[in-house]
């Protein structure tokens, strides 16, 4: 794992490179929204309907390091279903680092859903760390939802992303990591509340009809990004971009 940008001491030390690549900037006084996704060289965000096919050991290291820094991990219900989400878990070293920063042992998973047709029997909803379900105010959690599940009403008929992020911030969660899918990321971008984008370019060509990283109406004007870091490992390329404040 080599840090190609910015140049510096972390260039050839894998752990230092990963730390530098994922380190959050200074607090902004509002929740920071980071997006992390993997895409093939030809821009597909899934292979055979799942993102797992694009992943590999270096990608999983970056994925877990980013999770290790987050208070909340946001994902659309389709991603939770397709990628079979469970509760987030951090290793002992990460848990200790989190404790030193005053963070919970692991980030909370936040599922965005309107239908609320979720597998309420899954571990995700029965873990000691309660999962949050963000849903429109027009809907209520069904009786099948275990009592530990926390609900976050945001928006009237659809979840309003800015309102959801504000709600998480009100709950003390200031480091928000969105892991997709393309529909949710497009809405965050449309709301102009993304602070940073992390893209893992997976060394594969997959073609087919897989979605791009953002699936939504054209952004006018586009969200301009600034490349702030580049990491390379085992033919994967990791790029970190900053977005201007919305």
Ligand X SMILES: NC(=O)c1ccc[n+]([C@@H]2O[C@H](COP(=O)([O-])OP(=O)(O)OC[C@H]3O[C@@H](n4cnc5c(N)ncnc54)[C@H](OP(=O)(O)O)[C@@H]3O)[C@@H](O)[C@H]2O)c1
Q: Which residues bind ligand X (CB under 6 A)?
A: 37-39, 45-46, 49-51, 54, 76-79, 82-83, 112-115, 117, 136, 158-159, 179-184, 187, 211, 215
Shortest Å, Cβ 147 to ligand X = 20
Minimal CB distance residue for ligand X: 181
CB closer to ligand X, 76 vs 98: 76
CB of 42 to ligand X, least distance (A): 13
Name which of 59 and 175 has its Cβ closer to ligand X: 59
Closest separation in Å from C-beta 90 to ligand X: 20
Q: Which is nearer to ligand X, 159 or 229 (CB)?
A: 159
Shorter beta-carbon distance to ligand X: residue 22 or 187: 187
Can you give the chain as a three-state secondary structure string? CEEEECCCHHHHCHHHHHHHHHCCCCCCCCCEEEEEEEEECCCCCCECCECHHHCCHHHHHHHHHHHHHCCEEEEEHHHHHHCCCCCCCCCHHHHHHHHHCCCCCCCEEEEECCCCCCCCCCHHHCCCCCCEEEECCCCCCCCCCCCCCEEEECCCCCCCHHHHHHHHHHCCCCEEEECCCHHHHHHHHHCCCCCEEEEEEECCCCCCCCCCCCCCCCCCCCCCCEEEEEEEECCEEEEEEECCCC
Rounded least distance, CB 145 to ligand X, Å? 13
């Amino acid at each position: 794992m080599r840090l190609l940008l910015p140049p510096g001491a972390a260039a050839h030390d894998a752990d230092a490179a990963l730390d530098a690549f994922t380190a959050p900037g200074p607090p902004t006084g509002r929740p920071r929204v980071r997006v992390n996704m993997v895409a093939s060289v030809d821009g597909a965000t899934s292979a055979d309907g799942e993102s797992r096919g694009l992943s590999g050991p270096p990608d999983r290291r970056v994925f877990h390091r980013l999770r290790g820094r987050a208070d909340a991990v946001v994902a659309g219900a389709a991603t939770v279903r397709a990628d079979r989400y469970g509760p987030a878990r951090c290793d002992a070293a990460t848990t200790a680092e989190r404790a030193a920063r005053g963070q919970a042992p692991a980030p909370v998973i936040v599922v965005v859903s309107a239908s609320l047709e979720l597998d309420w029997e899954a571990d995700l909803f029965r873990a000691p760390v309660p999962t949050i379900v963000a849903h429109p105010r027009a809907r209520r959690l069904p009786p099948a939802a275990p009592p530990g599940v926390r609900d976050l009403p945001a928006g009237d008929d659809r979840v309003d992303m800015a309102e959801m992020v504000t709600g998480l911030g009100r709950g003390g969660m200031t480091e928000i990591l969105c892991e997709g899918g393309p529909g949710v990321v497009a809405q965050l971008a449309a709301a102009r509340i993304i602070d940073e984008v992390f893209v893992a370019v997976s060394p594969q060509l997959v073609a087919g009809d897989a979605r791009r990283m953002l699936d939504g109406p054209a952004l006018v004007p586009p969200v301009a990004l600034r490349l702030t870091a580049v990491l390379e490992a085992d033919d994967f390329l990791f790029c970190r971009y900053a977005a201007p404040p919305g």
